[in-house]
Amino acid sequence: GAGVSQTPSNKVTEKGKYVELRCDPISGHTALYWYRQSLGQGPEFLIYFQGTGAADDSGLPNDRFFAVRPEGSVSTLKIQRTERGDSAVYLCASSFQGARETQYFGPGTRLLVL
Amino acid sequence: GDSVTQMEGPVTLSEEAFLTINCTYTATGYPSLFWYVQYPGEGLQLLLKATKADDKGSNKGFEATYRKETTSFHLEKGSVQVSDSAVYFCALVQAAGNKLTFGGGTRVLVKP
């Protein structure tokens, strides 16, 4: 079956602009996660959805970052007033129910803020 | 907070050599432990996992044993292939946790 997909695969924007990153999880997976991976580092947790609600957003770095999952499937990560330090690969993952199960990762969106 | 420490790379090996990647963790309680792998040009994928002390996870010739007494989950493979060249990430999830906590990754390069 189809895996986790993310669009766009690459995004180049200018400092101060707004960006949206999209994640399509595996069908039937209720749990969805966003991570951020900087060059040469491991992924860092941003936010976790269980169904439509954000069950844990403790990893969001500041209020410029926001994510939604209005119908419990597709999720969008939104970054306002982008900064150069936001440049990273943004990874989405989904699992059937919870975090202790296998999380299936998408290919990521590479964001470059100029 | 929780943390995972793994040996820095790159690790360069010849084909058929023995591979060990050290991983230690700091966490309260009894986390589940994972190894994820990222092959060139591909996304992260689960390699193996263990959910309780003394469990051994295995897959594709790789093994790792959950050692509670040393808070470790070292990855081993007896005979590596060129196709094992990748970045390997050790990670944990707390028992009631909502997220994976990753180590920094170890790049492995296997030469023919």
One-letter amino acid at A54 equals A
How would DSSP label each residue in chain B? --EEEE--S-EEEETT--EEE-EEEE-SS--EEEEEEE-TTS-EEEEEEE-STT-EEEETTEEEE-BTTTTB--EEESS--GGG-EEEEEEEE-TT-SS-EE---EEEEEE-
B7 in contact with A, Cβ within 8 Å:
no
DSSP character for A85? Answer: G
C-alpha to C-alpha distance for B91 and B34, rounded to whole angstroms: 5
Contact check, Cβ <8 Å, A91/B43: yes
Helix or strand run (H / E) with residue A87:
none
Estimate to the nearest angstrom the gap between the alpha carbon of B69 and the chain centroid. Answer: 18
Minimum-distance CB partner of A33 among B42, B51, B99: B99
Query: Cα separation of A76 and A23, whole Å?
Result: 6
CA distance A83 to chain B (A): 23
Helix (H, G, I), strand (E, B) or coil at A35: strand
**B87 and chain A: CB distance < 8 Å anywhere?**
no
pLDDT at residue number B42? 87
Q: What is the pLDDT of residue B41?
A: 85
DSSP A4: -
Does A1 score more than 80 pLDDT? no
Q: Are B102 and A38 in contact (CB under 8 A)?
A: no
Percent of all residues in chain A with a pLDDT value above 70, rounded to a whole number = 99
HSE of B105, CA atoms in CB hemisphere, 13 A: 18
Out of A4, A41, A102, the one facing B46 most closely (by C-beta) is: A102
Q: Taking CA A10 as the corner, what is the angle to CA A8 and CA A14, rounded to the nearest 5 degrees?
A: 105
The two structure tokens encoding residue A66 = 């926001």
pLDDT digits (tens, 9 = 90+) for A42-98: 999 999 999 999 999 999 999 999 999 999 999 999 999 999 999 999 999 999 987
Question: Along chain B (112 residues), what's the average pLDDT of each consecutive run of 10 residues?
Answer: 92 97 93 95 93 95 96 97 97 87 96 95
- The whole-chain average pLDDT of chain A stands at 94
